[in-house]
Structure 1
Amino acid sequence: MALVTIDTSAVAENDRLDFWRSTVCDNFVALDVTPTPGGLVTGRVTAANVADTHLRRISSVPHTFVRTEGQVRRADEDYLQIALARRGRTLVVQDGREAVIGPGEFVLYDSSRPFTFATSDSFEYSVCLHPKRDLPLSAAEMAASTAITFDGRRGVGALLPPLLSSLDRAVADELPEAGEAALARTIGDLFVALVRSRVPDGAPNLHLVRARAYITAHLGDPDLDPARVAAACAISVSYLHKIFADADESVAGSIREQRLQGAWADLRTPHLSIGAIGARWGMPDPATFSRAFRSRFGCSPREHRQAQI
């Protein structure tokens, strides 16, 4: 986990702006990087990687950072990210929401959709970029958690600042590949806890609650489908699809996601065979299970299990 530090003070003043923009885009994701006009650009980035998870620290003068729709389309980065404010105040905009973070507060944001960071003064962030393919979270869960202020001093949010600080101290140590993979999983588990710590706003649709409960209780049934869920809830299939669409989900997608998340967790323990795990979660055909798992997580069930050893 080699630590790399990049500082604009090492570059001639006339070259600093271009150098700084390249540094930010190379170490984070492609962005429009716009310092406040009128002053000399100064900035510093420290970077380390833990397996495929990227840890960054950035400080500079006031800026606006914009991830555009065009940059999203052209890029292959697909990260869920955390930015923890160490200094300064920042407005963060994504998914139709706005959040303001100050020291000790943080936000989640997604590289696969446009976002804006606008700082009001000089700033410093700790940033963690975690591959979305390694997170057993639905697209709806991730989209519901962006651009919301988390307090890094209370609740589950209080776990983040000490973890990032300890990682800052640990990056100089050389870890074997298995150790890095285990550490990256720990970071991923915190992302999941943060996303799922949010309480949805508003009263839930009771039909949706019942449908979700029925799905959860019958995930092991390979014949589970929208028609069976609708019949169990005494509603039409079309209405079932509507209430899931209103929640930015699909019925089939919810069934598939929960099955794969359950399989992901079970593969961490060796006492069940891979085939038995697939069958337990309603996917008795090994080839179908393997294809669905690889499509969701970017690796086969066997590769995921071997990574836990």
Structure 2
Amino acid sequence: MGITTIDTASVAERDRLDFWRSTVCDQFVTLDVRPAAGSEVQGRVTAVSLADTQLRKISAGAHRFERTTRQVRSADEDYLQIALARKGRTLVAQDGRETVIGPGDFVLYDSARPFRFVTAGDFEYSVCLFPTRLLALSHSEMRAATAIRFDGRAGIGAMVPPLLAALHRLDVDSLPAASRTAMMQSIGDLYVALVRSRVDAAASPNLHLMRAQAYVDEHLADVGLAPAEIAAACAISVSYLHKLFAETDTSVGAYVRERRLQGCFADLTRPECASLTVSAIGARWGLPDSAHFSRAFRARFGVSPSAHRARSAG
């Protein structure tokens, strides 16, 4: 789709508050929207979509935005979001943490749990909404990285402002479908890098876990890959192996399944894999039972393998 702009100036003043609240909820996620100006609110949203990634710009006066537990429970899709401040200062709260962002700063926040934004006055954000089902991140990793200020002028954070600026100007309809999908995957990789830059910095790496994960990644095509084999290769007990993965909020089996499904997800969009059947792609990642592969893929990504491939091909 092209770039869409929605402005409260386009409706009568008496209708602006309801119009603005419905616009914010439609273009982002369902929220309690409380502008300080009340019915006199003036706001503007610019929207563009890139495959499953949603890009938004929003500007308005002082506001309080809050997502409640009830709204979380009724959601059809969960998003890990980046909010980059272009103007104004904002208090952001989620997962027991609070931070304040100003121009050039950004935060990550997760629509799967309650959060709160309170602006000090006029504000402008660039926001990227990325489906959490497409991210190779555990729930504990995402939870550990929310409501933490990232500096958009230094380190890995410096990649975010120019990327969002370019995406907001992008003529998505002019891009080949394969290019759109590749760009979406690159955005997802950036999310993973941002989250893990904070998670890894907060915890010392466990070498046994790293060895186990590396062994899994090297043997995903092995249908018989099992905890006993992984533990033996890493010279640890099976019980300790399970403990290592449990400490990362997952299990050995879940990690293996996730890595396999992520490999299939990527291969289904790669031109060099176009000659392979869906079943062959599943088999090369250790999922030879096509019916089981299809069920697991749909449960993880919300779409069948064949539909994902067709969508990526346009």
The TM-score bracket by the shorter chain reads: 0.7 to 0.9
For residues 130-145 of structure 1, what are the structure 2 equivalents within 5 Å?
130-145=130-145
Q: CA offset at residue 224 of structure 1?
A: 1.7
Partner of 1:195: 192
Q: Percent identity over the alignment?
A: 61
Say if 2:135 and 2:192, in contact at 8 Å, map to a contact too: no
For residues 32-71 of structure 1, what are the structure 2 equivalents within 5 Å?
32-36=32-36, 40-71=40-71
Partner of 1:283: 287
Partner of 2:244: 243
Opposite residue 125 of structure 2, the aligned amino acid is Y
Which ranges of structure 2 fall in alignment gaps of 5 or more residues? none
Q: CA offset at residue 83 of structure 1?
A: 1.3
For residues 150-161 of structure 1, what are the structure 2 equivalents within 5 Å?
150-161=150-161
3-state SS of 2:174 partner:
coil
Partner of 1:84: 84
Greater Cα offset, 273-282 or 244-253: 273-282
3-state SS of 1:159 partner:
helix
Residues 66 and 141 (structure 1), Cα distance of their counterparts in 2 relative to 1, 3 Å cut? same
Q: Aligned partners of 1:74 and 1:308: how far apart in 2?
A: 28
Q: Aligned partners of 2:310 and 2:91: how far apart in 1?
A: 42
Partner of 2:215: 214
Opposite residue 191 of structure 1, the aligned amino acid is G
Q: CA offset at residue 239 of structure 1?
A: 3.2
Q: CA offset at residue 59 of structure 1?
A: 0.8
Q: Aligned partners of 1:195 and 1:153: how far apart in 2?
A: 19
Q: CA offset at residue 125 of structure 1?
A: 0.5
3-state SS of 1:211 partner:
helix
Q: How many residues align?
A: 306
* Cα distance per residue 1:61-86 (max 9 Å; x no partner): 12121111110101213222221111
Opposite residue 109 of structure 1, the aligned amino acid is Y
Of 297, 307, 314, which aligns to 1:293?
Answer: 297
Q: CA offset at residue 119 of structure 1?
A: 1.5
3-state SS of 2:129 partner:
strand
Partner of 2:226: 225
Partner of 1:125: 125
Q: CA offset at residue 265 of structure 1?
A: 2.5
Residues 51 and 210 (structure 1), Cα distance of their counterparts in 2 relative to 1, 3 Å cut? closer
Greater Cα offset, 214-223 or 120-129: 214-223
Q: Does 1:166 align with 2:166?
A: yes
Q: Aligned partners of 2:179 and 2:242: how far apart in 1?
A: 39
TM norm structure 2: 0.84
Which ranges of structure 1 fall in alignment gaps of 5 or more residues? none
Say if 1:68 and 1:114, in contact at 8 Å, map to a contact too: yes
* Cα distance per residue 1:240-298 (max 9 Å; x no partner): 33322222222111111111112223331326554443233222222222222222222
